[in-house]
Structure 1
């Protein structure tokens, strides 16, 4: 049985379709939970669903007209998104039919399931892929090279590796182009710091150092990105949030959990670095 625990969020009116998919997931050794009977309205719903979502690693959202018109399904969606903000659980939205995607899910990769066997196999692969992604085989130099490719895959341009010549500890300079609502091209300038840890946990000193650079040495329009294979502790997250509120400055952080999810969306990275 897979170490991943998967919660299925669906409308009870789509029960027949979801039963078929659930059976296929179980036959592929995926540990799933979904409520197989219509829940009564009341406090038990909140407690039961919240517990199941909080104890899951992945939540699959089965989007349909029934789901989008159901108050209870919308509550499940809200609960899943709320939990994902706390601990970066994996959310996989799939469509059972042609529907308008909720704005809350616009940033997610949507899988069109329908009745396609190929799409179902793709869903199974997606569930199993994230636990298999590991950064343990990298050396620090190889991890930096991987991060450079990762930045390209996510639309960064003019990426320059600073290497040992950097006097501020940043590993990459990069640009990101986007359009304003009026069609004007806007160029953001980024400094990227890469932190690779073999065994130890992420150090709060790394965050403190970057924030000091941002506050005292860097122009206000320079954006900072920290990419690490380690997992941010609650202490680091709390410190970062408090500092950014007080200083009105921002640093984007991609830790090991989020990095796995972003890599899983890019086939070229999977093929080149992880052979999954």
Structure 2
């Protein structure tokens, strides 16, 4: 979702719904509920007579804040749905397009969606629909431009705790101060429980972009840490990585959580946003 303008005004998120033709009834019901909540929705029925279908879909998808994918056997067999999904996966690495899978049937998630948290409509569909609409309605407030750096750091700290980390704030490591040292229990390939250590910085970027210099500095420090201790490094940022920075990261042992991925995580934890957002007078 795009950041709010600097004047403090808000705009509702826009949603593109991707679905197989056999799932049109569910898509229409979802669209009606979202529109009633004040959320702009686009689906293929909005293509006007004489308009190029492929061009129309590509344009609307590029302009969307969220892509909701209705995942069924028919959708996975649809070239159109999978093409829209592939495009969105590419898009959200460079701009804030948040992919939201909605599971309607017992199918195996494709690899492109397997690491993305989904909404499960296989049980109580109405309850799941209410939950999705509620969370997307609230997501209009997830505008990192409203956060101070201190509020953003506090949000990240609370998120780490909720994700199961034990957190130490502002540790000094080899002369560098990090925002967090975090440990989390994980299982090794043989099933034994081990503790994974992370050094994490939270960076609020009002410009929306993470500089190459910031990435290079982290990578350099990651090399020195990995040479001496079993510790992972992560950068959690409100901004997005530039294409140049993305190329550098391909060969780096550094976990970067960009703004768009962070928003996707927070979609299921809006109470954390409500706790930390800076409510300045508008």
The answer to whether the superposition gives a TM-score over 0.5 is yes
Alignment partner, residue 195 of structure 2: 187
Residue 137 to residue 32, structure 1, CA distance change in 2 (3 Å):
closer
**Separation in structure 1 between the aligned mates of residue 266 and residue 139 of structure 2, nearest angstrom:** 9
> Structure 2 residue aligned with 1:241, among 237, 244, 247?
247
SS at match of 2:175: coil
> Structure 2 residue aligned with 1:14, among 5, 15, 23?
23
**Separation in structure 1 between the aligned mates of residue 107 and residue 207 of structure 2, nearest angstrom:** 45
Alignment partner, residue 85 of structure 1: 93
CA contact (8 A) 1:95 1:110 kept: yes
CA contact (8 A) 1:53 1:83 kept: no
Alignment partner, residue 260 of structure 1: 263
CA deviations on 1:234-265 (whole Å, 9 max, x unpaired) are: 2xx413532x45xx432222233332222222
Superposition deviation, residue 196 in structure 1? 3.5
Alignment partner, residue 179 of structure 2: 171
Q: Which runs of 5+ in 1 are unaligned?
A: 39-43
Superposition deviation, residue 190 in structure 1? 1.4
SS at match of 2:92: helix
Q: Does residue 51 in structure 1 map to residue 81 in structure 2? A: no
Higher relative contact order (CA 8 A, sep 6+): 2
**Separation in structure 2 between the aligned mates of residue 145 and residue 197 of structure 1, nearest angstrom:** 15
Superposition deviation, residue 54 in structure 1? 1.5
CA contact (8 A) 1:153 1:266 kept: no
**Separation in structure 1 between the aligned mates of residue 209 and residue 22 of structure 2, nearest angstrom:** 46
CA deviations on 1:89-133 (whole Å, 9 max, x unpaired) are: 111111334444334322222223367333222221222233312
SS at match of 1:104: helix
CA contact (8 A) 1:130 1:261 kept: no
- TM (normalized to structure 2)? 0.77
Residue 23 to residue 65, structure 1, CA distance change in 2 (3 Å):
same
Instruction: Give the 5 Å matches for 1:79-118.
Output: 79-113=87-121, 116-118=125-127
Measured on the aligned residues, the alpha-carbon RMSD in Å equals 3.2
Alignment partner, residue 272 of structure 2: 269
Q: Which runs of 5+ in 2 are unaligned?
A: 1-9
Counting matched residue pairs gives 263
SS at match of 2:262: helix
SS at match of 1:190: strand
- TM (normalized to structure 1)? 0.78
Q: Does residue 154 in structure 1 map to residue 163 in structure 2? A: yes
Instruction: Give the 5 Å matches for 1:30-69.
Output: 30-36=39-45, 46-69=54-77
